[in-house]
Amino acid sequence: MDNSIILVVGGAFIGLIIGFIIAKVLEKSKASKLIKEAKKSASLILKEAKSEGETIKKDKILQAKEKFIELKAEHEKVILARDKKMAEAEKRTRDKESQVSSELSKGKKLNQSLEDKIKDYNHRLDVLDKKQEELDKLHKSQVQQLEVISSLSAEEAKEQLVESLKGEAKNDAMAFIQSSLEEAKLTAEQEAKKVIINTIQRIGTEEAVDNCVSVFNIESDDVKGRIIGREGRNIRAIEAATGVEIIVDDTPEAIILSCFDSVRREIARLSLHKLVTDGRIHPARIEEVVKKTKKQIEQEIIEVGKRTVIDLGIHNLNPELIKMVGRMKYRSSYGQNLLQHSREVAKLCGVMAAELGLNPKLAKRAGLLHDIGKVPDAEADMETPHAILGMQWAEKYGEKHDVCNAIGAHHDEIEMKSLLAPIIQVCDAISGARPGARRQVLDSYIQRLKDLEDIAFGFTGVKKAYAIQAGRELRVIVESEKVNDDMAADLSFNISQKIQTDMTYPGQVKVTVIRETRAVNIAK
């Protein structure tokens, strides 16, 4: 029993040993296969790594070569640029050296010529000094000879010459004074009237009836009582609100509005029209209507100003100047509406400036604004001449210097500094002096035409005389029996001389004498 166990155990142990040995042998063979396979894969990996390393190496070498070439090219560019700059600097240096050398040579030549000129001048001065000495000697000898001949000393001759010159100067001065006095007499009354009427229209006094009064027509005299109101409260309210004096008298169906300010007068007229039309007339209603009318007139003034500048093609005008242009609608000068006058002057200035090659827009601007000083806002402004006041306003609101100078100089208050100033002055005179433009000018115009015709009728043989072309031409028709062709030429000359000596007129007057012979027969 024991032996069998031992045998079994021994057999099992031997079996285990044999199995272990077999397993080891199998494991060793398997390991050798794995090692062989690993060696093969390792050799493949090494080959691949070597080939990749060679490619990478070649790529890196190529990149390094390309970078080297790029750096080399950049370096060459820098070197070329430096060489170019150095060449340019050298060229400039050579040019400067040549310029300096030429300047030096010129300077030497100039110095030499200057020295030669100085020597020449010194020589000439010496010659002149000698000649001056000779002239002084000759002058003294001639003076002595003259004193001997005239039996007068030099001082006595001087005194006689001075006395004769004094006499001539006195005669010339008296003639000049006489002509100046005559001219002043002819023009003083007209100029005085202009100054007085201008002052009256700007300030407003009791004498300025025609220019300071408006007539408000009413349907019946019953309305007068409603306008006056109980104890005169309505009329006092209207006068206080508008600043206009209301005169209610026996004039049928009319009320007189008196005020030097035409704008305030227009406000009062429109307010009265609204109150009478509405029928409600009491102090509260009066104040309300006057306020609305003031706003309406102010808006109308602005609209008139805007339309005027748009029609004339004037741009970028200050709003305050536009308002002043609109106010000119309610201002007149010698019966001529100031706004129409300014528009006319602006158009004339534009045409004249274009013909002279100047800026027509600037001329229109100055022509429109030349009389804005005639619509002053404050009482202090009334003491300043309207041309100067207009120039100050134009400067205040940013107008150009030429425009301001033209406004201030159009009545010769200041010096004209641009070509615009005489153009404005001439166009202002053209607009105001044309026949029919102003009451005062129309009367003098008609009188001048009558005087021209009267001068012609003062000569014998004159049958008819007509002053035509606004007094620029006098056409005289003579009797052919009394005046022949030669006498007609003499008559034309004599009439022109008579006009020249007896009349004061602008420009020229052409005298045309017409002589004709007619033979008329009637066939029956």
**Can you say how many angstroms the Cα of residue 178 is from the centroid of all Cα atoms in its chain?**
43
Is 426 inside a domain boundary?
A: yes
| Beta-carbon contacts of residue 373 (< 8 Å; ≥ 6 apart) | 381, 384, 385, 386, 387, 388, 389, 390, 391, 393, 407
Judgement on whether residues 131 and 109 belong to the same structural domain of the protein: yes
Write out the two tokens for 493: 């000359």
Is 248 inside a domain boundary?
A: yes
Is 414 inside a domain boundary?
A: yes
Judgement on whether residues 385 and 455 belong to the same structural domain of the protein: no
Is 149 inside a domain boundary?
A: no
Q: Are 464 and 477 in contact (CB under 8 A)?
A: yes
Domain range enclosing 496: 443-515
Beta strand segments in 145-304, E: 213-217, 245-247, 254-258
Chain position carrying tokens 């209301």: 246
88, 113, 143 — which closes off a domain?
143
Question: What is the predicted pLDDT for the residue at 195?
Answer: 54
**Rounded to two decimals, what is the model's pTM?**
0.45
Judgement on whether residues 243 and 362 belong to the same structural domain of the protein: yes
Judgement on whether residues 228 and 323 belong to the same structural domain of the protein: yes
368, 399, 433 — which closes off a domain?
433
Judgement on whether residues 232 and 92 belong to the same structural domain of the protein: no
Is 303 inside a domain boundary?
A: yes
Judgement on whether residues 230 and 83 belong to the same structural domain of the protein: no
Judgement on whether residues 421 and 496 belong to the same structural domain of the protein: no
Judgement on whether residues 326 and 371 belong to the same structural domain of the protein: yes
CATH of residue 367's domain is 1.10.3210.10
C-alpha distances in Å from residue 233, one per residue of 282, 340, 473:
8, 39, 62
Write out the two tokens for 164: 């004769």
Write out the two tokens for 267: 């406000």
The end-to-end CA distance of the chain, in Å, is: 208
CATH of residue 494's domain is 3.30.300.30
Is 427 inside a domain boundary?
A: yes
Q: What is the pLDDT along the chain (524 residues), one digit of tens a residue?
A: 566 777 777 777 787 888 778 877 777 777 778 888 878 888 888 888 888 888 888 888 888 888 888 888 888 888 988 888 898 888 888 888 888 888 888 888 888 888 888 888 888 888 888 888 888 888 777 777 766 676 666 677 677 767 777 767 766 766 676 666 666 666 666 665 565 455 444 443 333 344 567 777 777 777 777 777 777 888 888 887 887 777 777 777 778 887 767 778 888 888 888 888 877 888 888 888 888 888 888 888 888 888 888 888 888 888 888 888 888 887 776 667 788 888 888 888 888 888 888 888 888 898 888 888 888 765 555 667 888 888 888 888 888 888 899 888 888 788 888 888 888 888 888 777 665 555 545 556 677 888 888 898 889 889 888 887 767 788 898 988 888 888 888 888 889 888 888 887 666 788 889 888 777 788 87
Judgement on whether residues 429 and 466 belong to the same structural domain of the protein: no
Judgement on whether residues 423 and 449 belong to the same structural domain of the protein: no
Is 76 inside a domain boundary?
A: yes
Is 28 inside a domain boundary?
A: no
Question: What is the predicted pLDDT for the residue at 54?
Answer: 85
Q: Are 423 and 352 in contact (CB under 8 A)?
A: yes
Burial class (CB in 10 A: 0-12, 13-18, 19+), 341: buried
Structural domains in the chain (count): 3
Chain position carrying tokens 């010659």: 127
143, 173, 204 — which closes off a domain?
143
Judgement on whether residues 371 and 222 belong to the same structural domain of the protein: yes
* Phi then psi dihedrals of residue 254, to 5 deg: -155, 145
Chain position carrying tokens 């009256």: 200
Write out the two tokens for 264: 């305030």
Question: What is the predicted pLDDT for the residue at 206?
Answer: 37
Question: What is the predicted pLDDT for the residue at 192?
Answer: 57
Judgement on whether residues 383 and 283 belong to the same structural domain of the protein: yes
Question: What is the predicted pLDDT for the residue at 331?
Answer: 77
Q: Are 479 and 464 in contact (CB under 8 A)?
A: no
